[in-house]
Structure 1
Amino acid sequence: MNYWLFKSEPDAFSIDDLAAKPQQTEHWDGIRNYQARNYLRDEVKAGDQVFFYHSSCKEVGIAGLAEIVKEAYPDHSQFNPESKYFDPKASPDKPRWVMVDVKLKQKFSKVLPLAKIKAMPEISEIGLVKKGHRLSIMPVSDKEFSILLDAAKA
């Protein structure tokens, strides 16, 4: 099993939006960064655990925990000319972008703020705290996952 951190802007899609979905499951679409896409396509697997991270908002930080329930498949928005995620170079026989399905496991009672994460000396290697690291999907080590989960539940 792998661990991940998926970033989302809550005004676009929040943990509360995921909680309101049937079976609390939804596809994670709109990824348009090649490294993040490669993680989704090549490394993210069913059963992997995901920190749901709220970015670009008042309460930036880890809001909860989700699980991958469906592995990478073509992101349908790349084919829709009316979608902001449309990619004219993509075609159904040669998709360029993928998405996965996530299921809510737990919404934390409060967001674990980025400032607190940055202040944790044992969490210094995660991309989230490194200057200039802006990926919307990033791996989390076993150790980091355990420490962050404990801090979020405290």
Structure 2
Amino acid sequence: MKNTSFWLVKSEPVKYSWEKFNQDGRTFWDGVRNYQARNNLRDMREGDLVLFYHSNDGKEVVGIAKVVKESYQDPTTDDKNWVVVDLSPVETLKKAVTLETIKADPQLANISLVRQGRLSVMLLKQEEFDRILELGNPQTL
């Protein structure tokens, strides 16, 4: 059985919002033009879980997606260096998890979102992924 990997992808809500993603139901993740982020796309496997982060405006994790098709040539360019994956939305977080909250959480001190803020596709440790979900889906007592 394959191990699930955990990722975070960023999108500016004015360019492609969580709401639009949910309306579409599926999309290919294009426009990545950073080699490290591209390599991360290549490493994604079907079934991997992905946090959806609104960058620039909002700066918050808003939902969970999953990889439904592994990397293939980016259809928006003829340059063979660039790839996309297909993602589908899974769940909207009850409460968006802001960058400020992430930075303030000691369990997330070494997360790539804080260390490499400009990277648009990043690998997360399962504990980091789970902690963000905890913060986004607080249990009411």
* Correspondences of 1:113-152 after superposition (within 5 Å): 113-130=98-115, 133-152=117-136
8 Å contact from structure 1 (residues 60, 111) kept in 2: no
Q: What stretches of structure 1 move > 6 A for 4+ residues in a row?
A: none
For residues 70 and 37 of structure 1, what CA distance do their matches in structure 2 show? 15
Q: Deviations over 1:32-61 (max 9, x none)?
A: 0001101111x110000000000010x211
For residues 122 and 110 of structure 1, what CA distance do their matches in structure 2 show? 18
Opposite residue 39 of structure 1, the aligned amino acid is N
**Any unmatched runs of 5+ in structure 1?**
80-89
Counterpart selection for 2:81 from 96, 100, 113 = 96
SS of structure 1 residue aligned to 2:70:
strand
For residues 14 and 128 of structure 2, what CA distance do their matches in structure 1 show? 27
> Which TM-score applies when normalising by structure 2?
0.92
User: What CA RMSD, in Å, does the superposition of the two structures yield over aligned residues?
Assistant: 1.0
For residue 34 of structure 1, what is the aligned residue in structure 2?
A: 35
For residue 76 of structure 1, what is the aligned residue in structure 2?
A: 75
For residue 109 of structure 1, what is the aligned residue in structure 2?
A: 94
* Correspondences of 1:18-29 after superposition (within 5 Å): 18-21=21-24, 24-29=25-30
For residue 67 of structure 1, what is the aligned residue in structure 2?
A: 66
**Any unmatched runs of 5+ in structure 2?**
none
> Which TM-score applies when normalising by structure 1?
0.85
Identity, % of aligned pairs? 39
The number of residue pairs the alignment matches comes to 135
8 Å contact from structure 2 (residues 93, 133) kept in 1: no
For residue 14 of structure 1, what is the aligned residue in structure 2?
A: 17
For residues 113 and 29 of structure 1, what CA distance do their matches in structure 2 show? 24
Opposite residue 4 of structure 1, the aligned amino acid is W
Opposite residue 134 of structure 2, the aligned amino acid is D
For residues 60 and 8 of structure 1, what CA distance do their matches in structure 2 show? 10
| CA positional deviation for 1:133 | 3.2
